[in-house]
């Protein structure tokens, strides 16, 4: 059952999923090629409707692909879904626990479904309750839980059988900042124990802070893949934003011609410059604007974010799309 | 055997949920009682009508009531499944290696269990009113009711998985069950019906189940209609379990 070291946790080729409705055919996932290494935290970043959940549900054996192939934890997704199910955990966006049922009961039952004896399942449930700090609510119905408690229980349900690979669909959506930080801690602890975590998110900071590698998906296609650092570096060294009195277009014309400016654009009235080294470029920009008689109002320097990556790859800002 | 173990586990889960909701248990007991107290007395007057089978009003009426219990007791089970779809419970169960047949069978057998308990209560309550049955007859009728319940619950779960919304599920199920019920002679024997109604009823599988149940209660255990009714229900049951399990395997939520 164990998978050899060095084998990828997930490998997909041309994975597709088409949904047919009465009126139209929607290609939710349009040919995804992915490799997720063992024991990494892999993030799937994209706006709502980009195909994140559909891809995840295919990889978790819940949805048959319309095309393509995939290997999950060393098993063929299409021909060995039963073997895949034994070694993966999956926590959907909705969670998965019944509001009317007691948390501990859910954990024990889940363990039993993976073939544990009653005693073993009870022991495992107690371990998870302690690990996820659910002692206060474990013996109450789920409907009495706070959002953070419920999410931790749902994650616990996905961890009952110590899966090699855990899928988390939007694990922190709708959580308050403290609960979110707790979930991040749990994900890092799983990672430390050698579990591969594949999560989806539309939060830039989450992908950035939590993931070893990410793939950006938009309209069912992967538009970028790599470590957050590499992706940001590939976009541009730094981003300088500035505003001038009068038309920003005039500033663009002047600055675009400078060798240290890789790219310039206007967003919400602000001039946005991608430069190699911000601390070197800023004085040069100031001199250039002065020489051109343009009055500078504000100027700022920031490291590029994943949103800049998304913007560059798709032409849209993830913040706008997600809003 | 994995299927048996998984079915037992799933049964256990839904049994636990059921007994932790006392309202359902109370409704289960009160419903048959209401039928006996508020409807059966009407039969006293019409049992002398031409075409009404001989053997006593309760021996004619209770079998029909039991079949109705089997049908209606299981027709509404899809509502709880739709709620679970929404909470992600079904998806969570489907991602485990649990048998898809067990996902259906475990919960459907739980439904059958409560139908059988209600049926038994109904039979016991009807005894003082004048119902006369023997133990073997009760066992055969309960088997028949179990098959009806399992068949109906399997179809109901499949419809719930296909529609995924109460607003689509409710009209389909209630539109389907009422004519099936009326065309089976549950409330009053079809021997009272005009010929054209009897012809339509002959195409309704449930009418054979009602015939079988009545034959048992009118003390003709060896009547061919008993074997016929049980056999028809058993075959349909197997088909519906197959359809229901397939729906669990493919569910898209």
CB-based contact, B170 to chain A, within 8 Å: no
Q: How far apart are CA B92 and CA B107, in angstroms?
A: 16
Q: What is the pLDDT of residue A1?
A: 41
Instruction: Identify the CA nearest to A112 among candidates B205, B235, B106.
Output: B106
Instruction: Tell me how far CA of residue A264 lies from CA of A258, A260, A309, B211, in angstroms.
Output: 10, 11, 14, 84
Q: Nearest CA to B144 among B234, B44, B224, B21?
A: B234
Listed residue (A88, A92, A90, A91) closest to A9, CA to CA: A88
Report the SS3 class of residue A227: coil
pLDDT at A18 over 60: yes
Pick B89's closest partner by Cβ from A61, A93, A96: A96
**Closest approach of A193 to chain B, Cα-based (Å):** 22
- Which of A60, A89, A94 is facing B88, going by the closest CB pair? A94
Find, in chain A, the residue whose alpha carbon is nearest to that of B249. Answer: A62
Element (H, E) at A19: strand A8-20
Cβ pair B88:A92 closer than 8 A: yes
Nearest to B87 among A61, A88, A95 (CB): A95
The CA distance from B70 to the nearest CA of chain A, in Å, is 26
Question: Which residues are paired to A266 by β-bridges?
Answer: A271
| Consecutive H or E run containing A299 | strand A296-302
Q: Which pLDDT band, with edges at 50, 70 and 90, does A276 fall under?
A: confident
Q: What is the pLDDT of residue A310?
A: 85
Q: What is the pLDDT of residue A137?
A: 96
Residue A204 pLDDT > 70? yes
Residue A4: band (very low, low, confident or very high) from pLDDT cuts 50, 70, 90: very low
B222 close to B134: Cβ distance less than 8 angstroms: no
Q: What pLDDT score does A212 carry?
A: 95
pLDDT digits (tens, 9 = 90+) for A211-227: 999 999 999 999 999 99
Nearest to A48 by CA among A167, A166, A170, A154: A170
pLDDT bucket at A320, cuts 50 / 70 / 90: low
Given a cut of 80, is residue B132 above it in pLDDT?
Answer: yes
The pLDDT, as a whole number, for residue B251 is: 58
**Residue for token digits 């048998």?**
B99
Residue A272 forms beta bridges with which residues? A241, A265
User: Are A90 and B86 a contacting pair at CB < 8 A?
Assistant: no
How far is the C-alpha of B185 from the C-alpha of B64, rounded, in Å?
7
The model carries a pTM of: 0.86
**Which residue ranges form the domains of chain A, and what is each CATH number?**
8-232 (3.40.50.300), 237-303 (3.30.70.100)
CB proximity under 8 Å: A 245-284 to B = none
| Percentage of chain A lying above the pLDDT 90 cut | 61
Mutate to test the interface with A, among B92, B246, B249 (most CBs of A within 10 A): B92
Nearest to B248 by CA among B160, B170, B171: B160
- Six-digit token pair at B121? 């209560």
CA-to-CA separations, B14 to A17, A258, B55, in angstroms, rounded: 34, 71, 40
Q: Tell me: pLDDT of A3 over 60.
A: no
List chain B residues with CB under 8 Å of A97: 87-89, 92
Min Cα distance A247 → chain B (Å) is 51
A218: nearest Cα among A27, A90, A57, A37 = A27
Q: pLDDT tens, B65-97?
A: 899 989 988 999 999 999 999 999 999 999 999
Mean pLDDT for the stretch of residues A171-196 = 92
Distance (Å) of CA A81 to CA A15, A32, B231: 15, 19, 36
Using the Cβ of A90 and the Cβ atoms of chain B, whether some distance falls under 8 Å is answered with yes
Q: What is the pLDDT of residue A236?
A: 60
Q: How confident is the model at residue A5 (pLDDT cuts 50, 70, 90)?
A: very low
Q: Output the average pLDDT for chain A.
A: 90
Q: Within an 8 Å CB–CB cutoff, is residue B50 touching chain A?
A: no
CA distance B71 to B59: 19
Q: How far is CA B226 from CA A143, B21, B233, in A?
A: 48, 36, 11
Beta-carbon count within 10 A of B179 CB? 11
Strand order across the A88-91 sheet = A88-91, A165-169, A196-201, A41-45, A213-218, A221-226
A35-39, A315-319, B179-183: least confident range: A315-319
**For residues A71 and B217, what is the distance between their CA atoms, to the nearest angstrom?**
59
Q: Which residues on B lie below 8 Å from A98 (Cβ)?
A: 17, 84, 87, 89
Residue A262 has pLDDT above 90, yes or no: no
Instruction: Look at residue B213 in the predicted model and tell me its pLDDT.
Output: 93
Given a contact cutoff of 8 angstroms between Cβ atoms, the answer to whether A63 and A55 are in contact is: no
- Please work out, in degrees rounded to the nearest 5, the angle formed at the alpha carbon of residue A105 by the alpha carbons of B247 and B28: 65
Interface of B with A in 82-121 (CB under 8 A): 84, 86-89, 91-98
Minimum distance, in Å, between the CA of residue B95 and any CA atom of chain A: 6
Does the pLDDT value for residue A323 go beyond 50? no
State yes or no: pLDDT of A318 exceeds 60.
Answer: yes
Closest CA in chain A for residue B13: A109
Tell me which residue in A85, A109, A112 faces B95 most closely, judged by beta carbons.
A85
- The shortest C-alpha distance from B73 to chain A (Å) reads 21
Q: Does B24 touch chain A (CB under 8 A)?
A: no
Query: Distance (Å, rounded) from C-alpha A298 to C-alpha A245?
Result: 10
Helix ranges (DSSP H) in chain A = 52-59, 81-87, 103-113, 118-131, 147-159, 177-192, 204-210, 228-235, 248-256, 278-291, 306-314, 318-322
Structure-token pair, residue A200: 């989806």
Cβ atoms of A125 and A111 within 8 Å: the answer is yes
pLDDT in tens, B147-161: 999 999 999 999 999
pLDDT digits (tens, 9 = 90+) for A107-139: 999 999 999 999 999 999 999 999 999 999 999
Cβ separation A82–B21 shorter than 8 A = no
Chain A positions in Cβ-Cβ contact with residue B252 (cut-off 8 Å): 63
Does A173 lie at the interface with B, CB-CB under 8 angstroms? no
Where does the pLDDT of residue A66 fall: very low under 50, low under 70, confident under 90, or very high at 90 and above?
Answer: very high
Q: What is the 3-state secondary structure (H, E, C) of B196-218?
A: HHHHHHHCCHHHHHHHHHHHHHC
pLDDT at B129 over 70: yes
- Reported ipTM: 0.89
CB contact under 8 A, B92 and A101: no
Question: Could B88 and A93 be called an inter-chain contact, meaning their C-beta atoms sit closer than 8 Å?
Answer: yes
Residues 6+ apart with CB under 8 A from B178: none
Helix (H) or strand (E) holding B188: none
pLDDT at B44 over 80: no
In chain A, what residues touch B98 (CB-CB under 8 Å)?
Answer: 113
B132 Cβ contact list (under 8 Å, min separation 6)? B56, B59
Find chain A residues with C-beta within 8 A of B84's C-beta: 98
Mean pLDDT of chain B: 89
Asked if residue A6 has pLDDT above 60, the reply is no
| Chain A residues within an 8 Å CB radius of B16 | 101, 105
Q: Look at chain A and count its residues.
A: 323
Which residue do the tokens 């946790």 mark?
A9
Give tens-digit pLDDT for B177-224: 989 998 998 877 888 888 998 899 999 999 999 999 999 988 778 889
Q: B-chain residues within 8 Å CB-CB of A92?
A: 88, 91-92
Please check whether residue A81 touches B, CB under 8 A.
Answer: no
Residue with the two structure tokens 């700090």: A133
- Which residues of chain B are within 8 Å of residue A77 when distances are taken between CB atoms? none
Return d(Cα A129, Cα A125) in angstroms, integer: 6
Q: Residues A33-60: what's their mean pLDDT? A: 93
Residue B240 makes CB contacts below 8 A (sequence gap 6+) with: B150, B151, B154, B155, B158
């Amino acid at each position: 059952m164990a998978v050899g070291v060095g084998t990828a946790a997930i490998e997909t080729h041309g994975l597709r999923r088409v949904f047919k409705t009465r009126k139209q055919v929607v290609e939710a996932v349009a040919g995804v090629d992915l490799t997720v290494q063992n024991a990494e935290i892999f993030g799937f970043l994209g706006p709502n409707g980009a195909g994140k959940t559909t891809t995840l549900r295919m990889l978790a054996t819940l949805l048959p692909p319309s095309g393509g192939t995939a290997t999950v934890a060393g098993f063929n997704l299409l021909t060995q879904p039963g073997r895949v199910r034994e070694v993966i955990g999956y926590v959907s966006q909705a969670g998965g626990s019944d509001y009317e049922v007691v948390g501990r009961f859910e954990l024990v039952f889940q363990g039993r479904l993976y073939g544990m004896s009653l005693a073993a399942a009870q022991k495992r449930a107690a371990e998870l309750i302690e690990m996820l700090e659910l002692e206060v609510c474990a013996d109450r119905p789920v409907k009495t839980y706070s959002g953070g408690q419920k999410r931790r229980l749902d994650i616990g349900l996905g961890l009952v059988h110590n899966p090699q690979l855990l899928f988390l669909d939007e694990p922190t959506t709708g959580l308050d900042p403290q609960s979110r930080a707790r979930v991040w801690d749990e994900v890092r602890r799983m990672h430390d124990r050698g579990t591969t975590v594949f999560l989806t998110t539309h939060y830039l900071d989450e992908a950035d802070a939590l993931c070893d590698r990410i793939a950006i998906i938009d309209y069912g296609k992967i538009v970028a893949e790599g470590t957050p650092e590499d992706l940001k570096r590939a976009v541009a060294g730094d981003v300088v934003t500035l505003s001038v009195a009068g038309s920003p277009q005039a500033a663009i014309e002047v600055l675009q011609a400078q060798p240290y400016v890789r790219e310039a654009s206007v967003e919400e009235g602000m001039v946005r410059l991608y430069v190699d080294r911000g601390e070197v470029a800023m004085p040069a920009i100031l001199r250039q604007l002065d020489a051109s008689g343009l009055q500078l109002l504000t100027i700022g320097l920031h490291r590029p974010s994943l949103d800049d990556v998304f913007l560059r790859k798709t032409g849209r800002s993830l913040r706008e799309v997600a809003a | 055997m994995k299927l048996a173990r998984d079915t037992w586990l799933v049964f256990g889960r839904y049994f636990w949920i059921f007994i932790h909701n006392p309202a359902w248990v109370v409704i289960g007991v009160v419903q048959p009682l209401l039928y006996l107290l508020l409807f059966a007395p009407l039969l006293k007057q019409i049992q002398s009508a031409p075409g009404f089978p001989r053997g006593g009003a309760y021996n004619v009426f209770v079998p029909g009531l039991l079949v109705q219990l089997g049908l209606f007791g299981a027709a509404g089970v899809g509502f709880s499944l739709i709620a679970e779809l929404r909470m992600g419970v079904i998806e969570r169960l489907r991602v485990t290696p649990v048998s898809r047949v067990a996902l259906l069978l475990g919960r459907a057998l739980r439904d059958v269990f409560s139908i059988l308990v209600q049926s038994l209560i109904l039979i016991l309550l009807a005894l003082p009113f004048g119902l006369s049955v023997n133990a073997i007859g009760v066992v055969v009728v309960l088997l028949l009711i179990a098959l009806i319940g399992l068949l109906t619950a399997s179809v109901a779960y499949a419809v719930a998985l296909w529609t995924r919304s109460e607003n689509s599920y409710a009209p389909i199920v209630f539109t389907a069950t009422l004519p099936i019920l009326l065309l089976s002679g549950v409330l009053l024997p079809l021997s009272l019906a005009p010929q054209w109604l009897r012809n339509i009823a002959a195409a309704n599988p449930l009418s054979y189940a009602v015939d079988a149940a009545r034959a048992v209660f009118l003390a003709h255990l060896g009547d061919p209609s008993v074997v016929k009714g049980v056999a028809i229900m058993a075959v349909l049951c197997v088909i519906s379990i197959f359809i229901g399990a397939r729906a669990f395997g493919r569910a898209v939520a």
